[in-house]
């Protein structure tokens, strides 16, 4: 069992305060000449964080930015509020037409109305384009040369090109005398197709992000998060939490207690049995919509970029591996109870790298894994624009083509509600679901998944995490026990997650992961979840920003893209992402007094632990030539599979060489390759019995024929579902 971490000399608490519902940009409470700051004594290494102050202090401000974030957010927030008050599309058009930026844009382009008329755009489509202009992204509609946003003068360069283009349009209108048809004819089929694709993307953004204000609200959120990054860049603690569900102060963050499956083996076996018994009540959810850029997977025949689900691994794709693990649990249920159970599988895809097409084609090619088409349900997540970090401008690869990527796996809950996934599960009698990412190849090892689901079902929990110890250099979040105090005086507790991109905001670290740093005190977030379906639907259907948990803007990694002229750009930027595990922030339990010990047993959220290589090992990034690290590569994940095989077979008195540290196998392969069929388990206790049976048959047989015959008979019985 993990114990609460002592993070402070005072009361053994990691104490700081978040004032909920902060007003970021009210002129009377915040300006760019005043920033939140830490006392100098608090700005020490991560091993000595003592307190994060929320007092507003006078500090030397940074040079004033060319772009006024506060003014732009205030303008867009006012526009969003007026649009949300409208009940009809015509009212929304009147409001958007009155926006100063929209008026200025269209006033300088007298022939543009004729251009749009010649394209026969609907009122809905016109509204979407005007929202883009109102959000300050008129360069997306530019037919001239698309400039990089690598410098602060890029925006003005794009605007200059737009005004030049407007003059050309007006001259063409005058020459043709047809009110814009000349420009409309200048659009080729390719440009018209790109415009139609843009309109589809915009329509999906406006529809899906309606809970935060559509296109305009998306841009507001992006700008707010960029302002937060400005504070972090100044090494100033950001002591406000933007998306608190309730008004409260966060008073403490501790390492959560939970069941350790590798230590309390008796209870772990009982929990796994609950998981097997409850299989008819469970569904399976796979978030496969990510772009998986770090994996760099390419079809060797066509050169087409492929999603992570298509990675060939141990003779089959990663998606096949997930289904294969699921079939093993179903087969164990059949052997124990004599009844067949086919688990419904919901898969979230996206259009990035033709993800949806590849995943569905794979399922069709493999005849739906022998399970039937009706046991699968697909729902496609929207793509969102990637923005530059300096002014929040959308990056553009060519006219009408903003660079777009999936908006993070946290959209899964709202999207599942919007697409009827919860209703589909209910119709098949399912109460809960396990969630697993495709790149994690060891999540189904032994009893991790079964025990996680068994506890959730048996104890009526809303959300559960499978966790393990963090390791040096891991780019992963942490699971934490949050302690809050609401304005009504109640104390709130819940197990949640903090993403690694948010560590600075929460003051967890100020540098790389150190062996004795604060990060190592918290367990790793692995994105292996149990979720109560009605509870998840309640959040996904909330029609507020709580339906998009954990909104973040990660600008740590450069965005590399190529423009229409083949020029390669690398800029600081990111896109608005949500994190599915932060749905936990909606499940805090409230108490009238402070809880000091073992509060986790009473909560709606919980956590289970196991050895790391039995919980998470990801094939999520390509091994670079000459790279000496195998961490999070397919090669490194294979070594963890072999380590698990060694641990299991060693318990069966089968001697195998030890799999040593990863760096020992950078230039040479492992000492053995053993891939155990999942039908041998999946529980190791069952596997050991079967291996013992094979050994007994081998030593008790009088001839090789008897041995072969017995082995074939047992194998056919074990493998018949495959």
State the angle between helix axes of 189-208 and 123-134 in degrees (0 to 180), rounded to the nearest 10.
80
Which pLDDT belongs to residue 577? 93
Structure-block tokens of residue 92:
């929304």
Q: Above 90 in pLDDT, residue 37?
A: no
How far apart (Å, rounded) are the C-alpha atoms in residues 151 and 144? Answer: 19
Which pLDDT belongs to residue 626? 75
Tell me the per-residue pLDDT of 612-624, one tens digit each, with 9 for 90 and over.
999 999 998 888 8
Give residues with Cβ within 8 angstroms of 4, minimum separation 6. 12, 254, 255, 257, 481
Which pLDDT belongs to residue 175? 40
Report percent pLDDT > 90 for the chain. Answer: 51
Give residues with Cβ within 8 angstroms of 78, minimum separation 6. none
Contact between residue 411 and residue 262 where contact means Cβ atoms under 8 Å apart: no
Tell me the per-residue pLDDT of 346-389, one tens digit each, with 9 for 90 and over.
999 999 889 999 999 999 999 999 999 999 999 999 999 999 98
Which pLDDT belongs to residue 705? 54
* Radius of gyration (C-alpha) of the chain in whole angstroms: 28
Closest CA to 6 of 540, 681, 518, 555: 518
Number of other residues whose CB lies within 10 A of the CB of residue 149: 27
Q: Above 80 in pLDDT, residue 38?
A: no
How far apart (Å, rounded) are the C-alpha atoms in residues 402 and 412? Answer: 23
Contact between residue 399 and residue 158 where contact means Cβ atoms under 8 Å apart: no
The SS3 of residue 287 is strand
Q: What sign does the dihedral 125-126-127-133 (CA atoms) show? A: positive
Closest CA to 307 of 361, 358, 346, 363: 358
Q: What does pLDDT average to over the chain? A: 80
How far apart (Å, rounded) are the C-alpha atoms in residues 298 and 284? Answer: 28
Which pLDDT belongs to residue 489? 84
Q: Kindly indicate the confidence band of residue 106, based on its pLDDT and cuts at 50, 70 and 90.
A: confident
How far apart (Å, rounded) are the C-alpha atoms in residues 538 and 586? Answer: 10
Tell me the per-residue pLDDT of 73-86, one tens digit each, with 9 for 90 and over.
999 999 999 999 99
Task: Pick 433 or 509 by higher pLDDT.
Answer: 433
Task: Pick 387 or 163 by higher pLDDT.
Answer: 387
Q: Above 90 in pLDDT, residue 94?
A: yes
Burial class from Cβ neighbours inside 10 Å (0-12, 13-18, 19+) for residue 417 reads buried
Bond preceding residue 587 cis, omega within 30 of 0: no
The SS3 of residue 627 is coil
- Total-model pTM: 0.81
Q: Above 80 in pLDDT, residue 459?
A: yes
Q: Above 70 in pLDDT, residue 114?
A: no
Task: Pick 114 or 369 by higher pLDDT.
Answer: 369
Closest CA to 447 of 334, 331, 340, 329: 329
Structure-block tokens of residue 558:
């450069």
Q: Which residues of 629-663 are buried (b: 16+ CB within 10 A; e: fewer)?
A: ebbbbbebbbbbbbbbbbbbbeeeeeeeeebeebe
H-run or E-run covering 253: strand 248-254
Which pLDDT belongs to residue 454? 98
In 109-153, alpha helices (H): 112-118, 123-134
DSSP per position, 653-720:
T--------GGGGSSS--S------GGG-SSHHHHHHHHHHHHHHHHH-SSHHHHHHHHHHHHHHHHT
Contact between residue 18 and residue 244 where contact means Cβ atoms under 8 Å apart: yes
Q: Kindly indicate the confidence band of residue 318, based on its pLDDT and cuts at 50, 70 and 90.
A: very high
- List strand residue ranges (DSSP E) for 290-427, in order: 312-313, 316-317, 345-350, 376-381, 383-385, 387-388, 396-398, 401-402, 404-406
Least confident of 12-21, 169-178, 328-337, 457-466: 12-21
DSSP per position, 482-544:
EEEEETTS-EEEEEEEE-GGGHHHHTS-SSS--TTSGGGGSPEEEEEEEEEHHHHHHHHTS-S
Which pLDDT belongs to residue 281? 98
Tell me the per-residue pLDDT of 622-660, one tens digit each, with 9 for 90 and over.
888 778 788 889 999 999 999 999 999 999 888 999 999
Which pLDDT belongs to residue 718? 45
Closest CA to 146 of 496, 563, 487, 528: 563
How far apart (Å, rounded) are the C-alpha atoms in residues 485 and 588? Answer: 11
398 - beta bridge partners? Answer: 401
Tell me the per-residue pLDDT of 695-719, one tens digit each, with 9 for 90 and over.
777 666 545 555 555 555 544 444 4
End-to-end alpha carbon distance in the chain: 38
Q: Above 80 in pLDDT, residue 170?
A: no
Tell me the per-residue pLDDT of 126-155, one tens digit each, with 9 for 90 and over.
999 999 999 999 889 875 544 433 333 344
User: Hunting for tokens 């920003």 — which residue is that?
Assistant: 545
Report percent pLDDT > 70 for the chain. Answer: 75
* Domain residue limits, the chain: 67-142+189-232, 247-382+411-502+519-544+599-617, 629-721
Q: Above 50 in pLDDT, residue 47?
A: no
How far apart (Å, rounded) are the C-alpha atoms in residues 352 and 399? Answer: 19
Which pLDDT belongs to residue 191? 80
Which pLDDT belongs to residue 64? 43
Average pLDDT over residues 414-443: 97
Q: Above 60 in pLDDT, residue 111?
A: no
Closest CA to 348 of 406, 396, 435, 287: 287
How far apart (Å, rounded) are the C-alpha atoms in residues 335 and 339? Answer: 8
Tell me the per-residue pLDDT of 546-590, one tens digit each, with 9 for 90 and over.
999 999 998 888 898 888 888 898 999 999 999 999 999 999 999
How far apart (Å, rounded) are the C-alpha atoms in residues 54 and 16? Answer: 8
| Assigned CATH for 247-382+411-502+519-544+599-617 | 3.90.550.10
Pairing state of beta strands 478-486 and 491-498? antiparallel
629 φ/ψ angles, rounded to the nearest 5 degrees: -105, 135
Give residues with Cβ within 8 angstroms of 344, minimum separation 6. 283, 284, 375, 376, 377, 424, 425, 428, 430
In 119-187, alpha helices (H): 123-134, 154-176, 181-186
Which pLDDT belongs to residue 701? 54
Tell me the per-residue pLDDT of 654-698, one tens digit each, with 9 for 90 and over.
899 999 998 889 888 899 999 988 888 899 998 988 888 877 776
């Amino acid at each position: 069992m993990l114990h609460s971490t002592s993070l402070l000399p005072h009361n053994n608490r990691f104490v700081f305060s978040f004032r909920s519902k902060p007003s970021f940009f009210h002129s009377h409470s915040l300006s760019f000449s005043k920033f939140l700051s830490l006392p100098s004594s608090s700005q020490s290494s991560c091993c000595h964080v003592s307190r994060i102050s929320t007092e507003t202090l006078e500090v030397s401000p940074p040079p004033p930015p060319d772009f006024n974030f506060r003014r732009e957010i205030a303008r867009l927030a006012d526009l969003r509020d007026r649009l949300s008050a409208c009940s009809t599309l015509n009212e929304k058009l009147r409001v958007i037409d009155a926006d100063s930026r929209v008026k200025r844009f269209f006033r300088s382009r007298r022939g543009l109305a004729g251009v749009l008329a010649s394209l026969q755009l609907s009122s809905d489509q016109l509204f979407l384009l005007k929202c883009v202009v109102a959000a300050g992204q008129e360069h997306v509609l530019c037919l001239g040369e698309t400039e990089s946003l690598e410098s602060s003068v890029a925006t003005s360069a794009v605007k200059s090109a737009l005004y030049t283009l407007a003059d050309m349009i007006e001259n063409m209108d005058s020459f043709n005398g047809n009110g814009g048809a000349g420009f409309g004819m200048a659009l080729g089929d390719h440009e018209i197709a790109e415009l139609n694709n843009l309109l589809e993307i915009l329509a999906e953004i406006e529809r899906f992000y309606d809970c935060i204000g559509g296109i305009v609200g998306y841009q507001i959120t992006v700008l707010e998060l960029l302002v937060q990054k400005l504070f972090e860049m100044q090494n100033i603690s950001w002591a406000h939490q933007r998306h608190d569900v309730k008004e409260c102060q966060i008073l403490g963050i501790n390492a959560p207690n939970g069941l350790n499956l590798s230590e309390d083996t008796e209870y772990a076996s009982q929990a796994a049995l609950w998981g097997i018994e409850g299989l008819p009540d469970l569904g399976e959810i796979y978030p496969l919509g990510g772009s998986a850029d770090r994996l760099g997977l390419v079809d060797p025949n066509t050169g087409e970029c492929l999603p992570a689900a298509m990675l060939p691994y141990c003779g089959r794709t990663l998606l096949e591996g997930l289904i294969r693990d699921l079939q093993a649990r179903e087969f164990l249920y059949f052997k124990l109870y004599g009844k067949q159970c086919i688990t419904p599988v919901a898969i979230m895809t996206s259009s990035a790298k033709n993800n949806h097409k590849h995943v569905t084609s794979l399922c069709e090619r493999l005849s739906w894994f022998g399970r039937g088409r009706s046991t699968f349900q697909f729902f496609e997540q929207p793509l969102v624009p990637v923005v530059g970090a300096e002014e929040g401008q959308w990056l553009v690869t060519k006219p009408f083509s903003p660079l777009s990527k999936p908006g993070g796996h946290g959209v899964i809950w709202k999207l599942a509600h919007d697409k009827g996934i919860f209703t589909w599960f209910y119709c098949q009698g399912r109460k809960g679901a396990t969630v697993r990412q495709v790149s994690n190849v060891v999540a189904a090892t032994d009893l991790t998944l079964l025990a996680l689901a068994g506890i959730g079902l048996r104890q009526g929990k809303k959300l559960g995490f499978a966790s393990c110890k963090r390791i040096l250099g891991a780019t992963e979040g942490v699971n934490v026990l949050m302690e809050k105090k609401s304005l009504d005086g109640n104390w709130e507790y819940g197990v949640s997650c903090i993403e690694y991109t948010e560590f600075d905001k929460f003051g967890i670290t100020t540098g790389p992961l150190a062996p004795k740093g604060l990060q190592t005190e918290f367990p790793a977030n692995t994105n292996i979840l149990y979720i109560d379906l009605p509870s998840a639907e309640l959040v996904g259907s909330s029609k507020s920003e709580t339906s998009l948990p954990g909104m973040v803007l990660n600008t740590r990694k450069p965005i590399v893209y190529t423009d229409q002229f083949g020029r390669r750009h690398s800029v600081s930027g990111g896109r608005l992402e949500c994190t599915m595990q932060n749905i936990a922030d909606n499940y805090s339990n409230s108490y009238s007094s402070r809880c000091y010990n073992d509060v986790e047993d009473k909560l709606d959220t919980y956590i289970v632990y196991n050895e790391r290589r039995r919980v998470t090992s990801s094939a999520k990034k390509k091994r670079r030539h000459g790279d000496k690290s195998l961490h999070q590569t397919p090669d490194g994940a294979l070594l963890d599979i072999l380590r698990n095989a060694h641990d299991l077979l060693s318990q069966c008195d089968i001697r195998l060489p030890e799999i040593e540290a990863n760096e020992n196998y950078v230039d040479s392969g492992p000492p053995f390759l053993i891939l155990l069929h999942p039908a041998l388990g999946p529980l190791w206790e069952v596997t050991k019995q079967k291996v013992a049976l094979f050994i007994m048959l081998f030593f008790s047989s009088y001839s090789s024929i008897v041995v072969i015959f017995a082995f074939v008979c047992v194998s056919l019985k074990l493998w018949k579902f495959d």
